[in-house]
Amino acid sequence: MQATIYDIAREAGVSIATVSRVFNNSSTVSPKTRDRVTTIAHRLGYHPHALAQGLAKKRTQLITAIVPVLSNHFFMEVLAGIQDRLADSGFDLNIYNVRMGDSLENQIDHLVKRGSAEGYLFISTHLPEKIGAILRRMGVPMVLIDDYHPDFDSVSVDSVEGAYLATKYLVDSGNRRVGMIAASPRSKPTIDRVRGFKRALEDSGRLIDEALIMTGDTMDRDGFTERNGYEAMRKLLDLPMPPDACFCSSDIQAIGALKAMAERGVHMPIVGFDDIQFARFLGLSTMCQPMYQMGFLALEKLLRRIGDPATEISHTVFSPQLVVRNTAFVPVVEPDADVIVRT
């Protein structure tokens, strides 16, 4: 099996973004790191020839994935699906890390106008209408992952439905005060999951207590971190009337929340969102979204778009499934269409 940039990154002890920068001759990589990566690549038999071959044909044979942050389990699993579908395509992958503090419009405009890629994957990078209009005029082949725009192919998961199912499960289990740990209010997944949370409470005849929707103070990675979940749970537990169950916007926040609960000696049902590998080992109940499949399918759509720009625009929306594990504190029941019981 041919070596990939994931194999090189793992052995060199660096991120896949660093490996990508080495092969694209970025000046931001130190000579020591560059030598280590190229030595390992040579030993593993990895040769990034696609770019050079593409230039000779006046085609770059390069796909660029645009992500807001790389140190995130969701993005890593999506990128794994992209890389595996890319393996036999003749294309190489470049990863561009958007700097969230800078103008998104200027960054994307600069990147696309360079013309170094034949297609783009936007991962959890919500496109303001102004940027969408620019990209439409340019006729750039692109696919959105974890987002939606009527004019571009997309692959996403129904976050509203996922939050609804998680919250309703906690309510139907007999919990009276269900809280939620949210992330950045600018984040589309957060917006959708708060909407689903509130809708489930309304449909169950519960009043919405805004005080029970909490986030932490640490907002790096849009708040999808252990630290944010830890801080948010501490705040919830400090309320005069704390929740007796909690839905978390992500598994990684749920892990931080569990630590805060353990420190206080508190036990309550908790459900996350994503189903990252850590969740399976910790027995975390969660909403499972097919991250790997999302990346794989998005790359498939992009290759089709590059090959035939007139292809009809398509939108794929996956339905998440509730995976019940130890943290839900419920008896094991037979699985149905929406619920999977795993211990």
91 and 240 part of one domain: no
**H or E element at residue 23:** helix 16-23
Q: Which residues constitute the domain of residue 171?
A: 159-289+321-341
239 and 150 part of one domain: no
90 and 185 part of one domain: no
Domain count, the chain: 2
Cα separation of 110 and 271, whole Å? 41
210 and 132 part of one domain: no
327 and 306 part of one domain: no
Of the pLDDT bands very low, low, confident and very high (cuts 50, 70, 90), residue 318 is very high
43 and 113 part of one domain: yes
What average pLDDT score do residues 87-105 get? Answer: 77
The Cβ of residue 56 has, within 10 Å, a number of other Cβ atoms equal to 8
Q: How far is CA 263 from the centre of its chain?
A: 29
- Which position has the higher pLDDT, 278 or 313? 313
Count of alpha carbons within 13 Å of 38, Cβ hemisphere only?
12
120 and 13 part of one domain: yes
Q: What is the mean pLDDT of the chain?
A: 84
Asked if residues 155 and 145 have their Cβ atoms less than 8 Å apart, the reply is yes
What average pLDDT score do residues 216-239 get? Answer: 91
215 and 99 part of one domain: no
- Which position has the higher pLDDT, 266 or 3? 266
Cα separation of 111 and 172, whole Å? 49
**Domain at 31, CATH number:** 3.40.50.2300
The crossing angle, in degrees rounded to 10, of helices 291-307 and 73-86 is: 40
Instruction: Report the range out of 17-21, 41-45, 70-74, 226-230 with the highest average pLDDT.
Output: 226-230
How do the residues of the chain divide into helix, strand and coil, expressed in percent and rounded to 5?
45, 15, 35
Coil, strand or helix: which one is 193? helix
199 and 337 part of one domain: yes
Write the DSSP assignment of 91-124 as a string of letters. -EEEEEE--TTS-HHHHHHHHHHTT--SEEEEES
Asked if residues 63 and 47 have their Cβ atoms less than 8 Å apart, the reply is no
194 and 243 part of one domain: yes
Q: What pLDDT, on the 0 to 100 scale, is given for residue 154?
A: 96
Of the pLDDT bands very low, low, confident and very high (cuts 50, 70, 90), residue 207 is very high
> Is residue 183 over pLDDT 70?
yes
> Is residue 314 over pLDDT 80?
yes
Instruction: Report the range out of 70-74, 123-127, 130-134, 211-215 with the highest average pLDDT.
Output: 211-215
Cα separation of 183 and 253, whole Å? 9
110 and 13 part of one domain: yes
Q: What pLDDT, on the 0 to 100 scale, is given for residue 115?
A: 65
pTM comes to 0.74
Pick the closest to residue 320 from 265, 275, 283, 267 (CA basis).
Answer: 275
Q: What pLDDT, on the 0 to 100 scale, is given for residue 298?
A: 97
219 and 278 part of one domain: yes
